[in-house]
Each structure stands twice: as structure tokens, then as C-alpha cells.
Chain A
Amino acid sequence: METLTLDRLMEIMRECAGEEEGANAGGDIGDTEFAALGYDSLALLETAARIEREYQVRLGDETVTEAKTPGALLSLVNRTISEVV
């Protein structure tokens, strides 16, 4: 199974919830908190549902709320993908 990349994750987020905020503020986007990027709980739920469909995985209810940054979400998703495989 194909793993999720940070670029693809951010692309999905933009489609699901619009452009991130403070994108040019420098620093690694993967380590920036969703809140700082302007993404709220709905944005995350919409994104998670999309990932579940595209990558044929089930992310636990808690998984999504636990991940505070794109990087954290990415590793959660990829861990789940590898478990499925």
C-alpha cells in the first residue's frame, strides 16, 4: 500500500479546508500545529475521512484528535497503513 506524503497530506487539507494560514512564515509545516495553520476540528475530520477513503484505512476516533501537527497525523496514518498491509 502506498504511504501518505506530507505534500499529499497538505494538498488534501487544502482541498478539504482551504489554504493554510501563515504558510510563508518559515519553519517546517510538518511541525506546525494545525491551530496555527488555521485548521480546526472540522478541517481535520474532513481530511481524515478523505484519507480513510483514499487509502482504505480506518483511523480511530481518538487518532485524529490526538494529532496536533501535520507531521503527527502523517505518521499516524502511515503507521495505520503499514498495519493494514
Chain B
Amino acid sequence: MTSTVVVTGMGVVAPTGIGVDEHWAATLRGTCAIDRVSRFDPTPYRSTLAAEVPGFVPEEHLPSRLIPQTDHMTRLALVAADQALQNADLDVPSLPEFGVGVVTASSAGGFDFGHRELEKLWSKGPEHVSAYQSFAWFYAVNTGQISIRHGLRGPSGVLVTEQAGGLDALAQARRQVRQGTRAMIGGGVDGSLCAWGWVAQQTGGRLSTAQAPDRAYLPFDAGACGQVPGEGGALLVLESADDARARGAEVYGALLGYAATFDPPPGSAGPSTLRRAAELALRDAGVEARDIDVVFADAAGLPDLDRAEAQTLAEVFGGCAVPVTAPKTMTGRLAAGGASLDVATALLAIRHGVIPPTVNVTRPLPDYRLDLVTRPRRATLSAALVLARGHGGFNAAMVVGRERR
């Protein structure tokens, strides 16, 4: 019998705000953070909208030593980790020396930092490349910097499955707790809002070219026209239920079930494996579809992908049988950070008994047969299913909810 793994702390740095409270308040208000990109001039580009973390001044949160050597997304991640540990009231030095680790998801690393160094190399020469380039851009940087900042010597890791990464990282952190690590930080904080990253993302073929912020990212809507990138994410502190209880920690809920699958190659006849991911996650959690009170959808915002997800939900739950929401309509898609933010939001929804809304969607397609929640809805919630899909065919599903005893 594997032990239940619970969430005892959360750190959120997202377009909806810095800190769990700010994020939750903005989410309930339905505040959409999508706007014209400010981190670089988007004028020359087809896509011009993104969701940025508002009012983030790194010097207010981090020692100046860390500023020159970190990409923007690493600074966001470091702040999220600080908050998560504080929120969990976890005193790392009092725990076993190798008892705490960190697993983060990454998608493209510190692309902005890498952009600047490539520019120096090619416009000025090799001697202008920073000593920090050897790690500041790479995919493992957030895990490394977080472990150093907090003295986390336990098992650590980094998973890259594009937008599915936030769930995969949490699942790996859960695995480590089950294998005996006292506590883990898991999740993703991400973002590549620089011109070079922008052009690279555009070639993925999924970015919305809409100019109006409230018309750009409309999952399950008749006007679905693509995705809007954002920056940020969430990191969670995981412990075994027994350990959390023993130290009297406040528990947000449990990571009850998880599964990951991979789709057949694009253009092949095979169907999406998202359904199997969802069903395996339910089985792993030991629950039936009817036990799920709300689904946090991947919500691609592209007609084909929306249809595939809606069809999966209809197959697993039946048509219109479960409330479905996509708060990421407020934050845009946070790459590796999005799915762990959804887990955080789902746990807050369960705690507060409110399903947060999907914003800007005014014409949900009826044939999707979804009970799409477009304004905050009061409900008694005990379990949520979070779905995430990464570019290329990565599917992940996680069941979170009240701890079962």
C-alpha cells in the first residue's frame, strides 16, 4: 500500500498575481491578464499578446547576488519556491540532511538569458559571453538554484514534456515522497518572453494572432483561434500524509492519482491517448468518474485539440456530466508552469468550495457537450481532475482532492 501524498504548501507567481492569496482573488474576479507584450516590442510580429507577471521587481524578493546570474523565469521560480516553503511552514534545516528535494518542469529553459548571450557572441565575440551562460539558460537551472538557495540535498530532477510538464514534475515529486524522501518541492515556473523565444514559439503554429486581449485565447469557443503564452507557474510542497499530520501541518489536499500517455505520431490514424491518461489517473486514485467534481481542462484553444479533449471528457464522464473549467484563459498558457498552477487552483477551489471561471468564452460550442463554467460557481468539491497536454503528443492527468483515509 503506497502512502497518500499531500500538499502542505504552495507558492504561486503568475499573471494573476504574486502569492496564493493574490492569485486566488484575481482568479475569482475573473481578471484576464492577457495584454500586449511589454517585455519586448512585439510590433514586428504576427502575435502580440501575452500574460506577464504584474509588478514583479526581482530585487524586492531576491538577494542581489542572484540577479546577474538568473533568467527572468528562474527569478520567478525562486520566489515561488520561497513562498511554497514558507507557506508550508517547513523548516528545512530541522529535517534529515538528504530529506528534501526539488523536481521542476522546464520547457525551453532561460531563453531570454540565452538570447542575450547569443547576441553578445555573434555581434561582439566569444570573450563577451558571460560565465553564467554555462547554466543560466539550461533546463535544469530552476531545480539547481532552488536546491542551493534552500539547502535541499535530497533527490532532485527536471522533466521536460512541454505543457504537460507541470503534472509530470509533481508526479515525480510524489514518487520521491513515496520512496521515502521526507518532503519535496514540485511543479513548474516558466516563460520565454523574449523576441527570440517569441519567434521560436510562433513556429509551433499554435499562437493566436488576434489583437484584442479578450478574443485571443478562447478554448471550446466557436471563435477558438489559438493560444496566448504567459509566464509564471506554481511550486508545491509535498509530504506524506502521516508526516504532515505528525507535524500538524495545514493540508491543502492530496495528489490522489496520476498517469501519463503519449499520442501516436501526427498524421497517423491512431486516436489521442488522452482518454487513457484520464482513466489511468482515476484508477490510480482509486476513484470512479462520478467521484470527480470538476475538471481543469488543458483547453488548447484550437478547434482540433478542443474537440479531442471535449470528446475525451464525454467518453469518460458522459456529456455535460461534470463541470469543466479553464482558468488559464486568464493567465495564458504558462508552458511548463501551467499545469502545476492548475493543480494549485484546483486545491484552492476545493478548499473554498468555488469553481473558478473560464473567462472570455462567450460562445461555447454546444456539440462539445461540456458544462463549461464561465462564472464562479459555488459547489461542494472533493476531487478534481487536471488535464495537460504538451506539444508533440504528451498527455498527463492528475486527480487531486481531499485526503482519503
A19 and B128 CA atoms in complex are apart in Å by 22
CB under 8 Å from chain A, chain B span 126-143: 127-128, 130-132
Q: Which residues of B contact A45 (CB under 8 A)?
A: 131
Q: Is B63 an interface residue (CB 8 A)?
A: yes
Q: Is B69 an interface residue (CB 8 A)?
A: yes
Contact with B along A1-37 (1 / 0, CB 8 A): 0000000000000111111010000000000000000
Chain B interface helix/strand/loop/mixed: loop
Q: Is A85 an interface residue (CB 8 A)?
A: no
Contact with A along B51-93 (1 / 0, CB 8 A): 0000000000001111111000000000000000000000000
CB atoms of B127 and A19 under 8 A apart: no
CB atoms of A46 and B64 under 8 A apart: no
B64, B69, B127: the one within 8 Å of A49 (CB): B127
CB atoms of A18 and B64 under 8 A apart: yes
CB atoms of A52 and B127 under 8 A apart: yes
Q: Which residues of A contact B67 (CB under 8 A)?
A: 18
Taking Cβ atoms with an 8 Å cutoff, the residues of A that contact B are: 14-19, 21, 38, 42-43, 45-46, 49, 52-53
A38 and B64 CA atoms in complex are apart in Å by 11
User: What is the total of A-B residue contacts with beta carbons within 8 Å?
Assistant: 31
Known: A42-B132, A49-B127. A19 touches B65 (CB 8 A): yes
CB distance from B248 to the nearest CB of A (A): 36
CB atoms of B132 and A46 under 8 A apart: yes
CB distance from A74 to the nearest CB of B (A): 20
Considering the complex, give the chain B residue whose CB is closest to the CB of A17.
Answer: B68
Q: Which residues of B contact A43 (CB under 8 A)?
A: 65
Q: Which residues of B contact A42 (CB under 8 A)?
A: 69, 131-132
Excluding A18-B63, A18-B65, 15 further A-B contacts by CB distance (< 8 Å) are: A15-B68, A17-B69, A18-B64, A18-B68, A19-B64, A19-B65, A21-B65, A38-B65, A42-B69, A42-B131, A46-B131, A46-B132, A49-B127, A49-B130, A49-B131
CB distance from A57 to the nearest CB of B (A): 12
A38 and B127 CA atoms in complex are apart in Å by 25
